[in-house]
Amino acid sequence: MNIIEELKRTLEHDHYQIVVNTTHSRMTFMLGGFVLGVVGPTRVGKSRAVREALRKLYPPSAVNFRPYIEVDASTTDSGFISTRYLTLTMLAAVEHPFYVGEEHGLRLNNTETVARIRLVKAIKHRGIELIFIDEAHHLLRTKSTRTALAALDWLKCLGNETGVKIVLAGSYELLLACFTSAHLNGRLSLIEFPRYKPVEADMKKFHRLLASLDPILPWASGQSLLHNWQLMYDGTLGCYGLLESWILTALSEMTGSGSKRLTREHFIRTRFQQQLEPIANEISRGESVLSPVAAIRNRSTVKSSPKKRKSKPGRRKPERDPVLPSAP
């Protein structure tokens, strides 16, 4: 097995296994018409985790039939999301005979209403139970906030009409729109795929992850991921996907420079602070948004002072203006 294949294995990636198991459990128990969102930093492994959970929920069968479809929320129409294009993509994924094969282009000029009706019928006819939409934060690439909410409500309504489960995987950005729709939140369940945060418990897991990857890399003497753990953490912000891609980039730098052994310098030359800043900002915003109900309830609140009872006009207040006794 080569290095790339080894890196694709999750080894002792604690957060990944937890998210896979949790996603599998949520998808098993969630009702039709409900929405599950798997959110987290970019390049943390959300899409891979959802796909593995889907394989556990729907193991490959002898007839090669999968009761779910998977699509990407690609942006169209000058960089903006198009629910019509998403509908056509789903029709192709569900293998509607009008939208696959050489002649499918003849139907691409259908209106969204016509395509939607055919999609609903195809989902019911094929026995589709779940729709997985990857890169779901692209649903927010709209011309207005109202349109972004409409795209999410479009998915919720599709789930209601067909009885399918909707699974979204996207960055923390997805939360900005999800939390503004009361109707969606009533049917929404969330799973956070967190990074390894700079706290003791997570750093132990991160160190163990680095140690599990070291044996497959051609390190120079005295060098290792674990030996350079601070650099590895600073350059990945604790995200496994960023670590994986950085390792591959460093290996390409090593090969391109004619070296046979991997060193710290190969990593330093292939990562720049400017790359990490937008990712760090997204993580900061996302982690600050999610607050469990118990945490909100336990927060100290400012007690409002009791309202003073207003007296009627002309009535004396003895405690404020005492009546003096009359002189003898």
Question: What is the edge-to-edge ordering of all strands in the sheet holding 165-171?
Answer: 68-72, 130-134, 165-171, 35-40, 188-192
Among the ranges given (63-67, 108-112, 186-190), the one the predictor scored with the smallest mean pLDDT: 108-112
Helix (H, G, I), strand (E, B) or coil at 38: strand
Is residue 164 within 8 Å of 131, Cβ to Cβ?
yes
Give yes or no for residue 46 having a pLDDT over 50.
yes
Q: What pLDDT sits at residue 98? A: 79
- Give 59-79 pLDDT, tens digit per residue: 877 567 789 999 988 767 667
Q: What pLDDT sits at residue 312? A: 57
Is residue 45 within 8 Å of 240, Cβ to Cβ?
yes
Rounded to whole angstroms, the Cα distance separating 22 from 141 reads 29
User: pLDDT category, 81, cuts 50, 70, 90?
Assistant: confident
pTM of the predicted structure, to 2 decimals: 0.79
Beta 80-81 vs 68-72: how paired, if at all? unpaired
Q: What's the rounded mean pLDDT across residues 19-28?
A: 95
Number of neighbouring beta carbons within 10 Å of residue 80: 15
- Give 294-319 pLDDT, tens digit per residue: 655 555 444 555 555 555 555 555 55
User: pLDDT category, 138, cuts 50, 70, 90?
Assistant: confident
Rounded to whole angstroms, the Cα distance separating 162 from 2 reads 44
Q: DSSP assignment, residue 43?
A: T
Rounded to whole angstroms, the Cα distance separating 287 from 171 reads 11
Q: DSSP assignment, residue 140?
A: G
More confident residue, 289 or 255: 255
